[in-house]
Amino acid sequence: MSNTAVREQEWGKFIKLLLKSKLPWKWYMMTVIAGIIMSTAIVKLPQLAGQVMQGQIFDKQLVTQFIVLTVVTTLLKAAVNIFTSWVNLNTDRNLEKSIWKKLIRMPMKFINSLNPSSLTSRVTSDAISVSQALSQFFALFYVTYTLVLTLITIYGMNSKMFIAMFAIIPWVLLVTILPGRFMFRAQNKIQSRYSEFTNFVSERLANLRLIKSASSEKHEVQKGFATAEDQYKSELYLAKVNLIVQPFIFSTQGVCMAITLIYGGVLVNRNELEMGQLITLVIYSQVIPAMISQYILCYQEIKRAQGATNKISEIMESDSEKVEGKISFALPDDDIVFNKVSFSYGRENVLSDLSFVIPKGKVTAIIGPSGSGKSTILNILERFYEPKSGKITFGNVPVEDIHLDEWRSAIGYVPQNSPLLSGSIWDNIVYGLDREVNEEEVIRAAEQANIYEYIKKLPAGFHTKIGELGSKLSGGQKQRIAIARTIITNPDYLLLDEATCSLDPQNEHEVQKALNNLMQGRTTVVVAHNIKTIANADNIIVLDQGKVTATGKHDQLYTENSLYRKYFDLQFH
C-alpha cells in the first residue's frame, strides 16, 4: 500500500470514528463560530492600533472602538477557552462511553488478543488523545481563517508589503515543519517508553508474590531502573530537540518584524506607505508566524493522535458478539447436540470434529488429560467462542439463533478460580441478578455454598469489602462465594469447571452436597477431578487430544475404554 493510500486510510478512520461517536457537535460549532468572530476582531485590532499610534489618540470615536474591540476580543478568547474545555470534557466522556459499550460486547477471542493494560489504555489515554486532536481539528478552521483574513487585509493595504510578507511564509514553514518532525518522533518515543514503564510496573506489582518467593527483588529493581532510564533518555532527547528548535521558531517573528520594518521603512520614505499602516503591518508581522506555528502544532497534534485513533478504530470497527437471536429462549426442553464441532485458538487446533449429546435434565461429565479441550467445551457452551466448524443445536435450533443474553442468563457457570469484582460479599453474590433479593435468599445461598459461617463472623457481615479481585479472601472462600452466586441465580443449566478444586476435603464435601442438590433435574455439564462425581454422572464423555474417544456410563466405559479405566484407577492408587 502506498504512503498516500495509508494516509487516506488513517484520515478515513479518524473521520469514521468521529461520526460513530456521540460527540457534542453543537458545542463544537459554537466553538468554531466564537473562534471565527474572535479572529475577525484580532485582525481588526491592529488597524485601529495603527490609527491610534499615528496620532489619532484624541479621536474619541476611534479610541472607543479600540477599547470596545479589545474587551470583546478578550471576552471571546475566554469564551473560546471555556467552550473548548467543555467540549473536551464531553468528548472524553462520550468517547469513553462509546469505547466501553463496544468493548464490553467484544468476543473473548478479541479480548484475549490484547493485554489488559492495552485495553485500559484504549478507554482512557487513547480516548483523551483523540478528543484533544478533535479540538485541534476544529481549531484549524479559525486559525486558517485568521491567517487568510490577515493576508487579505495586508494585500488591501499595500500589495508590495503583501508580496514581501508572503515571501516570509516559506521560511516560517521550514523552521516549523522540519524541527516539528523531530519533535513528533520524540513525543512518540516518550509515549512508547511511558507505556513500557507502566506495563512493567503493573505486571511486577500484580506478581509481587512470585518476585518475593523467588528472591528476585534486586534483579527486578535493576530492570525497573533500566526501564525508567529509557524513559528518562527519551525525555532528555525531546528536551535537546526543544533546545535547538525553540530559537529557530522564536526567530521567525524576529525575521518577520525585521523585514517589515526595513522594507516598510523604504516604502514610507517613498511615500508609498503611511506610518500608521507600517505600525499595523508590524503587528501583523507577529500574527502571521504565530498563526502558521499554531497551524502546524494543530496538525502535529492530529497526526500524533492518529496512532490512538487507529487503536480505537480497531475496537469500534470490529464485530461485536451477536446478541439478537431469531428465537427467544424460554424454558429448557431439549438436548444440546454437538455435531462435528471443531475449534482452534489461532493456529492451535483444540477440538476436532466433536459429536456428542448433552441430554436434558441429566448430568454429563467430561474427563480427559490436561489440554484435551474440556474447559474449551464449556467456553463454547457459554458462547464465549464460536466453533470454527460444525453445529451446536438446542434440539433442532442452532444456538446462534437464540438470544445471547437469554442463553447466558439460563446458565450458571462456575469456572476454576472464579473471578470476583471489587466491592462487598453481598455485591458479588447478587451480581448479575435482574431482580431484587432479600437477605434470607442470600443467607440460604451462602449456607448451601458453605460460606455463611465465615461471613457471619465478619464485623460487617455480607457488606465486608473484599478488596480488588477479592484479594482479601482465600482461594477457597472466593470459590464458595462464586458458587453462592450461581445458587441464587437458580439457573436452568449448570456448567461446573473444577468448581470445587480450590477447596479442602471437608469444604469440598459440603459444597459438593449443595451442588448435587442444585444439579437435580437440571442439565449439567461437569469437568471435575472428583471420581465419585464422574462415576455418578448419567453421561460421561472421554476426551483425548481434542477428540471424543468414548461416551457412555461408568460401568461401560470402565470395561471398554482404557483411558477412562486408567483415569479411574489412578484416583485410588
Residues 8-51 pLDDT 10s: 555 666 667 666 666 777 887 888 888 888 888 888 888 887 77
State how far the Cα of 320 lies from the Cα of 305, in Å rounded to an integer.
Answer: 25
Retrieve residue 489's grid coordinates: 441465580
Digit-coded pLDDT (tens) for 271-305:
888 888 888 888 888 888 788 777 777 776 777 66
Q: How far apart are CA 309 and CA 79, in angstroms?
A: 28
pLDDT the model gives residue 340 = 92
Q: pLDDT by residue (tens digit) across 442-477?
A: 899 898 888 888 888 888 888 989 887 777 888 778
pLDDT at 366: 92
* pLDDT the model gives residue 10: 59
- 212 dihedral zone (left: phi>0; alpha: psi -120 to 50; beta): alpha
Q: Which residues pair with 379 in a beta bridge?
A: none
The arithmetic mean of pLDDT across residues 221-235, rounded, is 87
Angle between helices 159-166 and 125-157 (to 10 degrees): 150
Pull the grid cell for residue 83. Answer: 467552550
- The one-letter amino acid at 561: N
Residues 403-407 have a mean pLDDT of 83
What order do you get walking across the sheet with 397-398 strand by strand?
348-358, 336-345, 389-394, 397-398
**Alpha-helix runs per DSSP H in 207-216:** 208-213
The bridge status of strand 539-544 relative to strand 363-367 is parallel
Overall average pLDDT of the 384-398 stretch: 87
Residue 366 backbone class (left: φ over 0; alpha: ψ -120 to 50; beta: rest): beta
Local structure of residue 461 (DSSP, 8 states): G
- What was the pLDDT predicted at 151? 87
Q: What pTM did the predictor assign? A: 0.69
Closest CA to 399 of 310, 481, 339: 339
Q: DSSP secondary-structure letter at 400?
A: G
- At 469 the pLDDT is 74
User: With pLDDT > 90 as the criterion, what percentage of the chain qualifies?
Assistant: 4
**Lowest-confidence segment of 94-103, 182-191, 257-266, 365-374 by average pLDDT:** 182-191
Percent of the chain with pLDDT over 70: 86
pLDDT, position 364: 92
Are 171 and 252 a contacting pair, CB within 8 Å? yes
Confidence at 54, pLDDT banded by 50, 70, 90? low
H or E element in which residue 497 lies: strand 493-497
- pLDDT tens-digit readout, 335-371: 899 999 998 887 778 888 889 999 988 999 998 888 8
DSSP 505-521: HHHHHHHHHHHHHHHTT
The answer, yes or no, to whether residue 102 has pLDDT greater than 60, is yes
The pLDDT of 514-534, averaged and rounded, is 81
If one compares 53 and 203, the residue with the highest pLDDT of the two is 203
Instruction: Name 81's Cβ contacts closer than 8 Å, sequence gap at least 6.
Output: none
Q: Which residue shows C-alpha cell 526543544? A: 242
What is the chain's mean pLDDT, rounded?
A: 80
Residue 502's pLDDT is: 64
Domains and CATH numbers, the chain: 3-316 (1.20.1560.10), 336-570 (3.40.50.300)
Q: Is the pLDDT of residue 99 over 70?
A: yes
Minimum mean pLDDT range among 160-164, 211-215, 385-389, 546-550: 211-215
pLDDT-derived band of residue 121, with 50, 70 and 90 as boundaries? low
Instruction: Tell which wins on pLDDT, 307 or 541.
Output: 541
Q: Per-residue pLDDT tens for 239-259? A: 887 787 777 767 777 788 888
What gap in Å lies between CA 278 and CA 267, rounded to an integer?
Answer: 9
